[in-house]
Amino acid sequence: MNPSSPKAHPKDAAPGSAVVLLSGGLDSATAAAWAAREGYRLSALSIDYGQRHRCELESARAVAQVLGIRDHVVLPIDLAAFGGSALVDPTAEVPKDRSDADIGHGIPVTYVPARNTVFLSLALAMAETRGAAAIVLGVNAIDYSGYPDCRPEFLAAFQEVARLGTKVGVEGRPIELVAPLATLSKAEIIRLGLSLDLDYGLTTSCYDPDSRGRPCGRCDSCLLRAAGFAAVGATDPRAAL
């Protein structure tokens, strides 16, 4: 499956094993729940990269547990040592109360340089050592806040990296990138998750939560999440914290 909208596997074609990149956010949790429904045997990889919203790692653990993912690696990588993003610099301001037009324009200061390139490289290494056939990730190119490493062009390029730069790829068994949410709106993602009985109360999306992990309700990620729940007429259980 190329990075695309969700597509069921034929009943006689088991999808095999996969590593899911699990941040603890709404999108990655939905992608993981979808992959579990599709029949993938899942391992999970979460990255502790020095992010200011480290509470997402607890959400990742909770999601992995409810989905029955026993092989869950939380890997420390200090991207804060490089800086360059409000998500790894606690002294930088996270943008708040931005309009839809502002959110959709340009690359915001919450962009972490090369984050998805780094994460996918690590997931690729884990997938090859686990003998996994695929990497499942929750990137989205519709409501994505302008991040360049969430676009289909980037995923296609990394798919070629996976083919050329791994033993299994050279041997003709490349690890496949599966991005079931790539072309879905936030509302469509939430609708999918609700159809999978995913408990969104376990997830967190906020870029600037308080010391108890409660969402600010004002950053770009919180606003996109709130708009998605409003569009499907559902209540966000996380907003009640």
pLDDT score recorded for residue 103: 84
Q: Residue 14 — pLDDT band, cuts 50, 70, 90? A: low
pLDDT at 132 exceeding the cut of 70:
yes
- Provide the sign of the torsion angle of the four alpha carbons 79, 84, 85, 88, taken in this order: positive
Tens-digit pLDDT profile for residues 138-176 = 998 876 567 888 888 999 999 999 999 999 999 999 999
Tens-digit pLDDT profile for residues 63-120 = 999 999 999 999 999 999 999 999 999 899 999 999 988 888 888 999 999 999 999 9
Q: Which residue has the tokens 């499956």?
A: 1
Q: In whole numbers, what is the pLDDT of the chain averaged over residues?
A: 92
pLDDT at 1 exceeding the cut of 70:
no
Residue 32, judged by CB atoms within 10 A of its CB (0-12, 13-18, 19+), counts as buried
pLDDT at 22 exceeding the cut of 70:
yes
pLDDT score recorded for residue 96: 97
pLDDT score recorded for residue 187: 96
pLDDT at 2 exceeding the cut of 50:
no
Higher pLDDT, residue 213 or 11:
213
pLDDT score recorded for residue 4: 43
Separation of alpha carbons 98 and 78, rounded Å: 29
- The pair of three-digit structure tokens given for residue 102, joined into one six-digit string: 């502002």
φ and ψ of 42, to 5 deg: -100, 135
132: closest CA among 57, 69, 80? 69
**What's the N-to-C CA distance of the chain in angstroms?**
38
20 close to 35: Cβ distance less than 8 angstroms: yes
Collect all residues with Cβ–Cβ distance below 8 Å to 66 and sequence separation of at least 6.
199, 202
Domain boundaries, the chain: 17-236
What's the CATH superfamily of 17-236? HUPs (3.40.50.620)
Higher pLDDT, residue 241 or 121:
121
Separation of alpha carbons 70 and 46, rounded Å: 13
